[in-house]
Amino acid sequence: MAAKKRVGDIFGYARVSTDDQDLAGQRQRLADAGAIRTFEDVVSGKRFDRPGLNDLIDHARPGDTLCVVRLDRLGRSLKELLETVDELKRREVNFMSLEEKIDTASAAGELIFHVFGAIAHFERRLIGERTRDGLAAAKARGARAGRPPLDQDKGAAARELVAGGMSPTAAAHHLGLGRSTVYRELRRA
């Protein structure tokens, strides 16, 4: 006899970027969607270290569903979204977004995420091709790749300032150079 698949719980995930923003609207929509508990973060979307999200993922069991109000609550970029949904899939946890009407428990919802993945892969390849084309065009115009060479006068001035007792950091600041440039010039000399 085949094992019966567990019907899981819905857990909400709500995120705002700053303390002045309110989670109440997200909480209510997630509760209306059936979330029995909502995990929360007050953290910028730029950071991917989200304790509330990590707690939810650790708490969820196979068959459960992570639910968000909108996709941007889960990740700032398509890459982050795909990585998170892949991690959920690996743990046999479904994903649902209310605004976009995505539910990976359904075949159509999973298809949408595969399409997102294909688009992200296509975008990465396009960026690579544009970069190669740009480098080839620059080379054809005679442009050199990499950093421009250090002006010899500035290099000599940096060495003299450091020899006169100024710190490399202060010499860099004084000459409008990067600190690592001054240290590289000192090693070269």
pLDDT along the chain (189 residues), means of 10: 69 89 94 96 76 94 95 81 88 92 87 78 84 88 80 89 92 89 87
Q: Residue 3: what pLDDT?
A: 53
pTM: 0.61
Q: Residue 154: what pLDDT?
A: 87
Cα(174)–Cα(169) distance, integer angstroms: 9
**86 and 171: one domain?**
no
**76 and 156: one domain?**
no
CATH number at residue 14: 3.40.50.1390
**23 and 104: one domain?**
yes
In a domain, 102, yes or no: yes
> Which domain-ending residue is among 108, 142, 168?
108
Q: Give the three-class secondary structure for 168.
A: helix
Residues 6+ apart with CB under 8 A from 91: 57, 60, 62
Q: How many domains does the chain have?
A: 2
Specify the amino acid at residue 142: G
Domain residues for 176? 152-188
Q: Residue 115: what pLDDT?
A: 84
In a domain, 184, yes or no: yes
Q: Residue 76: what pLDDT?
A: 74
> Which domain-ending residue is among 81, 108, 135?
108
Q: Residue 47: what pLDDT?
A: 64
**97 and 178: one domain?**
no
In a domain, 65, yes or no: yes
In a domain, 147, yes or no: no
- The residues carrying an active-site annotation are 17
In a domain, 100, yes or no: yes
Q: Residue 45: what pLDDT?
A: 63
**16 and 100: one domain?**
yes
In a domain, 141, yes or no: no
> Which domain-ending residue is among 108, 124, 139?
108
**75 and 160: one domain?**
no
Given a contact cutoff of 8 angstroms between Cβ atoms, the answer to whether 119 and 78 are in contact is: yes
**42 and 98: one domain?**
yes
In a domain, 35, yes or no: yes
Q: Residue 4: what pLDDT?
A: 55
In a domain, 3, yes or no: no
Q: Residue 48: what pLDDT?
A: 65
